Structures are given as structure tokens and as C-alpha cells.
Structure 1
């Protein structure tokens, strides 16, 4: 029925964040015109969490080896913005985008759905 998902990151410096995703993260991309880059993402999954607050959406990049990914990103100039937090269900941290926002990174320690 569906062929994919389209994720939108809003940015106050879209050109710099696009360059970061292209050059530091290394995502393959197409140019939809006028430098409007669309990036190929790894396989994905979606979860629905309960909240008592306002509904919101989050976007995490998942990996199998968070320490290895952090070493590669740091070597490419990425700023790691928080220490790795270990939880029973996974390991979390984030890198700084050029616009100043954070891009969360996540190593799941639970079964995943993206390879079903």
C-alpha cells in the first residue's frame, strides 16, 4: 500500500543542515531542484508513545554500534551534544546540526521492526 515515509526537519539554517546530512552523516540524496536535497534514509519504523502533554513527533537515527558511529561522526567534525545515556531498551545521544538543533542517535537494545 505505502512505498515509503517522508520525514521533514524544520531548520533555521536549512542549507547548512542539508550540507551536514550530505557531508557529515553521508546520506545519499537527490536534488529536487534549486539545491533542495532529499535524502535516502535507512530502513525505518514508527512507534506510538502515550503522553499527558501536547502530541509531538521525534526523529532518531538508529545504529547497531553507537560508539563506533560517534567516533566516525566526531572525526568528520560533528559535535556530540550529550553523553550517552544507557537505558534497558537502548542507548541515546545526539549530535548538533549547524542550525543549532540536535539530531538524536539511538542504539536499540530491543527487537526492531525495520527489517521485517
Structure 2
């Protein structure tokens, strides 16, 4: 039986991104040894989309109220890297990690599987 999922973010500055996830996103975690932090994620779901080119994988953090979440991030000095885009499936944007990478964030407007 599948008991969970393990997501890997590759980073040019893993220490800074780990500190951001711990201190700014407030995700609890464990030290797997030597300061190698692994974070607990909120409930998750997986979707399979068609690919027009090479296959790839994406990670989006989800929130219930995107506008409030962005206000909280701005108050903490987090850079919002994309204007909020309203799609039929949700409202989407992205934030900047300390390494410079973007982390997409969205508020789903579709039924969610993780609450089932």
C-alpha cells in the first residue's frame, strides 16, 4: 500500500531554501542527519496531464485563500514572481525561493482529492 509521497526540490542553494521552507512556510520537519531537513507537507494530490513535448513534473503548493496567503508572504518579505492569473481550475501565482527558483502556488476552484 502506498503510504505517502516524497517530493524532491533541486536547488542551487539548498541550505537557504531549507531555511525558507522551515522559517517562512512554517512547515515542520525532521533532520535526516547532518542538517538534511525533510519537511512534512500538507495533504496532497496528484494529477496526470497530457504532455506536448518531453514529460516533466511540477510541484504547486495549494491554499484556500490565495489573496490572504500572498498578503502574509508580502509581510514576511517573500517576493511574488507572477501576477495572479485566474484560470477555470484556479487562481495561480508563484513565489521566489532564496535560491532564485520559483515555487508555484494556487487556490483550486475545482473539487480537491485530498479532502476526500
Q: TM-score range by the shorter chain?
A: over 0.9
Q: Report how far residue 51 of structure 1 moved.
A: 1.0
Output the aligned Cα RMSD.
Answer: 0.6
Q: Secondary structure at the match of 2:86?
A: strand
Give aligned pairs, total.
116
2:73 matched residue in structure 1: 73
**d(CA) in 1 for partners of 2:31 and 2:76?**
23
User: Unpaired runs of 5+ in structure 2?
Assistant: none
2:6 matched residue in structure 1: 6
Q: Secondary structure at the match of 2:107?
A: strand
Q: Residue 90 in 1 paired to residue 80 in 2?
A: no
Q: Secondary structure at the match of 1:19?
A: helix
Task: Write out aligned runs for 1:1-116 (5 A).
Answer: 1-116=1-116
- Structure-2-length-normalised TM-score: 0.98
User: Unpaired runs of 5+ in structure 1?
Assistant: none
Return structure 1 stretches of 4+ with deviation > 3 angstroms.
Answer: none
- Mapped contact 1:60–1:104 kept (Cα < 8 A): yes
